[in-house]
Amino acid sequence: MKHLGEKYVDTYRAGFSEKSRTMLRERIQGDTAVVLVSHSAPQICALCERAAWIEHGRLQMLGDAETVIDAYNEAIKSHAKV
């Protein structure tokens, strides 16, 4: 299993070299599990098929990345209205 922290992916997002982008994509598409830790919803949607929403150390939801992010965003909106 490989872990890609936000600092590594931020470098990717900021316009890192084509060689580095290719390497990141290969790691994600390879046969090894990759754990990407990020607070960036667009980044998660672009790079991940599945996502886990963890809040205060507890799993809130696990599933399709887009579905999990949508649920998270709705929860944030509901919480902000209170």
Residue 16's domain comprises: 1-40
Q: What's the number of domains the chain is made of?
A: 2
Same domain, 36 and 1: yes
Same domain, 36 and 53: no
Q: Give the global pTM.
A: 0.65
Same domain, 29 and 59: no
What are the DSSP calls for 3-22, one per residue? EE-HHHHHHHHTT--HHHHH
Same domain, 23 and 6: yes
Same domain, 1 and 35: yes
Check the CA dihedral 52-49-17-42 and report its sign. Answer: negative
What digits encode the pLDDT tens for the residues 39-82? Answer: 888 878 877 889 999 999 999 999 999 999 999 999 999 888 75
Same domain, 2 and 36: yes
